[in-house]
Structure 1
């Protein structure tokens, strides 16, 4: 079996100081920013995915918490790639339930938007598709930015299966959320709803667009025909 230390060593071999500096700026790690204090080794995502693909079958399960709690961002992201493999390849519901429980237990370490966006819908979204979603609904009201984003992005799996109800409810609840990372996530999910059924998106927009945060609106209407998109931006669409 493979240890956490082995995985960390494989990742460290891919480190790039130059890329790490760019990533620290891109993921807002400065004082007072949303990623404050996060540490990067500068490992490109395809390399992390390749390592996760190589080790997920042989990593000792009790080593995973060491990876997800690691201070280096890329180690945590690789841990989530591994957990997603475990979840998707699980042969029993009991196994899947364990990986979901770990995702929830260690969610405090899923603390940047890429960590959320590559994993939430694949694990929690899949699990809660046909189960009680109250955990996700509760997180919408959380003071923790990342819990809110996990809840929103989890609904991507629901959208792809034709259920927009959770997404639309969350979007309505989050119209006054203060952070642009939530505005972007909600706008993204609304756009995905529109890709499935544009009329559903337009109905939501017609009710709410005049008081939607600008970033949320821009993300939501990105794929609409240009004249209609401009009308929403200019406030010309009648409710």
Structure 2
């Protein structure tokens, strides 16, 4: 009897663990998660090799495998789960939003949440824009900092398609947060949009009470362009 796909991959990756790298990788993530000690370039190469030999899971099977990998303790499995979901994102259906939110609120830290917010939920909501108002409202009023960060960041790659009133409203509502990751997200979102409309961002920053960190991050790209 052959092993399930997830079990095969787990065994495959564990065979390449590197105890000498694991402590520094864990320390970088403030020792919140154990690591196998496999650096990203090697992990990506190993994963692609595994897919070549065992095939790539499709649609619902792939989502299920990503969820199973997410439950494994070492962080490298979570990174691979996100790789699978990014490759499957064109196949995601409306019903998968709850799955994506589940990834945001479990084992949460910036290294996973930012990829999910930008590359997965951001892409997903472009396919199902009718879900945006209710989803963003739910995230903003939640007590979960990572869902709130997602509400601010999901439009990072939208450029001219950015819903600017929504972005600015999200930021205003979160502007008094004392959380570093919220303040940083505000600055990051504004900085990215400033590459599309610098004047809009400049005016917003000038008329909105933001933390010094958010302001500094928001105006970085504008200041760089002024120095050229």
Q: Classify 1:157/1:189 alpha carbon distance in 2 versus 1 (closer, same or farther; 3 Å).
A: same
Deviation at 1:192, TM superposition (A): 0.4
Q: Classify 1:123/1:206 alpha carbon distance in 2 versus 1 (closer, same or farther; 3 Å).
A: same
State the SS of the aligned residue for 1:223: helix
- Between the aligned partners of 1:45 and 1:148, the Cα distance in structure 2 is 27
Question: TM-score normalised to the size of structure 2?
Answer: 0.81
1:107 corresponds to: 104
Give the alignment partner of residue 70 of structure 1, picking from 72, 77, 82.
72
Which deviates more, 126-135 or 50-59?
50-59
Q: Is 1:44 the equivalent of 2:39?
A: yes
Aligned-pair RMSD on alpha carbons?
2.7
- Quick check: 1:16–1:42 contact (8 Å CA) kept in 2? yes
Which deviates more, 180-189 or 126-135?
126-135
Q: Classify 1:49/1:119 alpha carbon distance in 2 versus 1 (closer, same or farther; 3 Å).
A: farther
2:27 corresponds to: 25
Structure 2 matches for 1:150-189, cutoff 5 A? 150-159=150-159, 161-189=161-189
Q: Is 1:116 the equivalent of 2:113?
A: yes
State the SS of the aligned residue for 2:221: coil
Give structure 2 stretches of 5+ with no counterpart: none
1:84 corresponds to: 86
Q: Classify 1:3/1:212 alpha carbon distance in 2 versus 1 (closer, same or farther; 3 Å).
A: same
2:222 corresponds to: 224
1:11 corresponds to: 13
Question: TM-score normalised to the size of structure 1?
Answer: 0.77
- Quick check: 1:40–1:74 contact (8 Å CA) kept in 2? yes
Q: Classify 1:149/1:74 alpha carbon distance in 2 versus 1 (closer, same or farther; 3 Å).
A: farther
More helix by share: 2
State the SS of the aligned residue for 2:141: coil
- Quick check: 2:202–2:219 contact (8 Å CA) kept in 1? no
- Quick check: 1:83–1:99 contact (8 Å CA) kept in 2? no
State the SS of the aligned residue for 1:18: coil
Deviation at 1:177, TM superposition (A): 1.0
Q: Classify 1:49/1:109 alpha carbon distance in 2 versus 1 (closer, same or farther; 3 Å).
A: farther
Q: Classify 1:77/1:136 alpha carbon distance in 2 versus 1 (closer, same or farther; 3 Å).
A: farther
- Between the aligned partners of 1:16 and 1:63, the Cα distance in structure 2 is 24
- Quick check: 1:4–1:63 contact (8 Å CA) kept in 2? yes
- Quick check: 2:160–2:196 contact (8 Å CA) kept in 1? yes
- Between the aligned partners of 2:18 and 2:154, the Cα distance in structure 1 is 32
Q: How many correspondences in the alignment?
A: 215
1:204 corresponds to: 204
